[in-house]
Amino acid sequence: MSPKVIITHLSDLTPPSQERTWLTAPHPTLPIVATCSSDKTIRVYSLTNFTLLSTITGGHKRSVRTAAWKPHMVGESVLATGSFDATVGIWRRWDSYGQEDGAGVGMSCGDKESPADGSTEAPNGTGTGTPDREEDEEWRFAVLLDGHDSEVKSVSWSASGMLLATCSRDKSIWIWEDLDDGDNNFETVAVMQEHGGDVKCVSWHPSEECLASASYDDTIRLWREDLDDWGQVACIKGHEGTVWFLDWEGEDSENWNGLTSDSVSESDLSALQAQWRSQTALSGPRLVSCSDDRTVRVWRRQPKESQQHGALSSATTGIPSIIRPTGTDEVWEEDAVLPHAHELPIYAVAWSKRTGLVASTGADGRIALYEEQFVTREQEQQAGSDAMDTTSGGVLRTDWVLVGVQDGAHGIYEINHVAWAKRADRGSGGEEVLISTADDGSVKVWTVTR
Amino acid sequence: MAEMQNSNPTIINAADLPTRLRPTATSKSEYGGIFTSALPLAPVDFESAPSSDSEDDNLMEEPIDEQEIYDLISTISDPEHPISLGELAVVSLPDISIKPTLPNVLDSPLQTVTVLITPTITHCSLATVIGLGVRVRLEQSLPSRFRMDVRIKEGTHSTGDEVNKQLADKERVAAALENGALMGVIAKMMETCR
């Protein structure tokens, strides 16, 4: 039997919006999330006690579709929001949520590893808070980025936090540079218009300045800066419908162990893991996508080294360097189609940076979890394929296995988004929770255990 | 309004339109809403499900059948004629079906309503607006457990695939609902709905 994963409802975020909620963005360091609603507001909730902290109103004239937290901020949080009103809002707030809800976290980023229990006080503890303060005023509207012609669908900050990518039904992707000049000035760095339809999602590489985008034109495209110009370096065709969402593999999924369905000894497993790391190091993090075509697919970049110096790299597998892309062009290949798990369009996919689990959700109201597992020699032989020795130079293969399904996770409602976040409520041990966001406005937090 | 695209459409006599002759809903009050074998046009192409002994007692709503869907959308007016979609045969009872959305999930209340639209002419640029009107009407009238599948009937429109992709795109439909001008047109089409 494959190891199964149990999805358990931990809590709702309350009170919820009464209208469709599109997306939940977990803060990179603080135990808070921002949710985007059709009621034109952004709600900020605590993951410590699952209650509403702030409601940001008055900035957008139509549905708020998307939001993203700027990384590497210290002492202040910066949120970018994208709306159907074609604008992107930038909001700022001095960090003090930790004091307010007594969680003992929040003022500095340095304490993010502090245990969540022990120091936790009652959420309604008196003293530190200023109860009569107007919560909404704490969020300062910084600037409105104007440029798109129609609904903004997605926003994403680059790993450094210097660049913000935005995309729209107007088929364009804009890259803005945060000048960080204390005056909230953003400069337009590039406008890319190669997509043939709405751009549904933009997502930055976890460390490099490489942007991935997904579109109504059924393609995924990758973008990099070459000398001074931003340009397309790859166009991935494979999906047979709108590509709704993208996420990157973590660069250091230390907890993913590629458990096989057969029992493998510890030493064998660590050998497999070492081989896997060297085999995949040159490709870099993979990309996962989900689509209207009811599939979730994983894409891998063909390593440049193997394209150009295939024979020199011991980690390559003798793939002849037939294709020699010029310039910055990259070749991306389909690495896997994940097991079928959805009967309706799949709106979101999330690749855990911590455990390597992939979660997907969509219009069928189902949350599915997938795990990548090594294929052992025994399985290969059973499958009648060539008896490749997985421990002595053969190409190590993996299979994606459906390890958990939660039907009707939000009752009868469609689920628009799913995200991984660090668990922060009392008694948690630093594991992750899954946060799902639905058409009735509800936002649910789930634990994922074996 | 600009020149009409189809100034002389075929119109069906209102008396010939399908209607429910027998009294509505039988007295079986808790009859399961999922596999109503009494449906006049029950689709036969889905896997035979367990018979109605697994009815969902939690559903307090009346079962909804194809005729009821037809009644909801046939009275919508065409955007360029003061004539209903039923009279123009843009929507018709045989082109409406209701199926379980997740046939393999035994107690799932989700059902998919499929409506195939037949534009009056194959290059009708208003097909998207008509389809959107039908989808909006159903979304506003039916419980949330229904999923809408509104499409142009195959072979009846020159750009059917494009129209279908738009109509199936949740985000575009949601944005259209916030578009005042477009919703004005849709509201006018629905003035004739009861």
Rounded to the nearest integer, the mean pLDDT of chain B is 82
**SS3 track for chain B:** CCCCCCCCCCCCCHHHCCCCCCCCCCCCCCCCCCCCCCCCCCCCCCCCCCCHHHCCCCCCCCCCCHHHHHHHHCCCECCCCCCECCCCCCCCHHHEEEEECCCCCCCCCCEEEEEEECCCCCCCCCHHHHHHHHHHHHHHHCCCCEEEEEEECCCCCCCHHHHHHHHHCHHHHHHHHCCHHHHHHHHHHHHHCC
Is A430 within the bounds of a domain? no
Beta-bridge partners for B44: none
Counting every residue written for chain A, the total comes to 450
Is A444 within the bounds of a domain? no
Which residues are within 8 A (CB) of A318 and not within 5 positions of it... i.e. 6 or more apart?
A: A310
Strands A287-291, A296-301: pairing is antiparallel
From A62's Cα to the closest Cα of chain B, the distance in A is: 7
Q: Which domains does chain B have, with CATH numbers?
A: 62-192 (3.30.300.130)
pLDDT score for B12: 85
Quick one: closest CA in B to A405, which residue?
B105
CA A384 to each of CA A116, A317, A379, A388: distance values in angstroms, whole numbers, following the listed order: 50, 21, 9, 11
- Does residue B43 carry a pLDDT above 70? no
- Please give the Cα distance from A422 to A29 (Å, whole number): 9
| Chain B closest-CA separation from residue A4 CA (Å) | 19
Complex confidence, ipTM: 0.83
Residue A285 domain boundaries:
77-126+134-409
Interval B14-23 mean pLDDT: 73
The pLDDT-based confidence of B63 (bands split at 50, 70, 90) is confident
Identity of the amino acid at A286: R
| Residue found by looking up tokens 């399908």 in the block | B18
Q: What are the residues whose beta carbons fall under 8 Å from the beta carbon of B146, sequence distance 6 or more?
A: B64, B110, B111, B112, B113, B138
Nearest CA in chain B to A292: B169
Provide residues of A within 8 Å CB-CB of chain B.
20, 38, 62-63, 65, 84, 150-151, 153, 169, 198, 200, 216, 242, 292, 343-345, 347, 363-366, 407-408, 412-414, 439-440
Interface contact B108-A408, CB threshold 8 A? yes
Tokens at A125, concatenated: 């503890």
CATH code of A369's domain: 2.130.10.10
Prediction pTM value: 0.84
Unique residue bearing structure tokens 């948690």? A428
The pLDDT value given to residue A114: 40
Please state the domain count of chain A.
1
Percent of chain B with pLDDT strictly greater than 70:
77
Among candidate residues A275, A437, A264, A300, the one with its CA nearest the CA of residue A362: A437
**How far, in Å, CA of A175 to CA of A173, rounded?**
7
Q: Answer whether residue A358 is part of any domain.
A: yes
Q: Do residues A318 and A300 make contact, with C-beta atoms less than 8 angstroms apart?
A: no
Nearest partner of A203 among A241, A239, A173, judged by Cα = A173
Stretches in chain A below the pLDDT threshold 50: 1, 101-133, 135-136, 307-325, 385-392
Rg for chain B, CA atoms, rounded: 17
B106 touches chain A (CB under 8 A): no
Write down the pLDDT at residue A387: 44
Give the 3-state secondary structure of residue A278: helix
Whether B165 has its CB under 8 Å from any CB of chain A: the answer is yes
Q: Do A407 and B108 touch (CB under 8 A)?
A: yes
Instruction: Name the more confident of A190 and B20.
Output: A190
What CA–CA distance (Å, rounded) separates B43 from B66? 11
How far is Cα A35 from Cα A64, in angstroms, rounded to an integer?
9
B59, B110, B146, B151, best to mutate vs chain A, most A CBs in 10 Å: B110
From A192, A188, A191, select the one nearest A143 (Cα to Cα). A188
Task: Read off the pLDDT of residues A417-436 as tens digits, 9 standing for 90 and up.
Answer: 999 999 999 878 879 999 99
Beta carbons of B87 and B12 less than 8 angstroms apart: yes
pLDDT-derived band at B29 (thresholds 50, 70, 90) equals very low
Determine phi and psi for A291, rounding to 5 degrees: -145, 165
- The CB density around residue B103, as the number of other CB atoms within 10 Å, is 16
Judged against a pLDDT cut of 70, whether residue B36 lies above it is answered with no
- Tell me the backbone φ, ψ of residue A79, rounded to 5 degrees: -120, 130
Q: Are the beta carbons of A364 and B143 separated by less than 8 Å?
A: no
Residues of A in contact with B111 (CB under 8 A): none
DSSP state, residue A109: G
State yes or no: pLDDT of B188 exceeds 80. yes
Residue B15 is predicted with a pLDDT of: 80
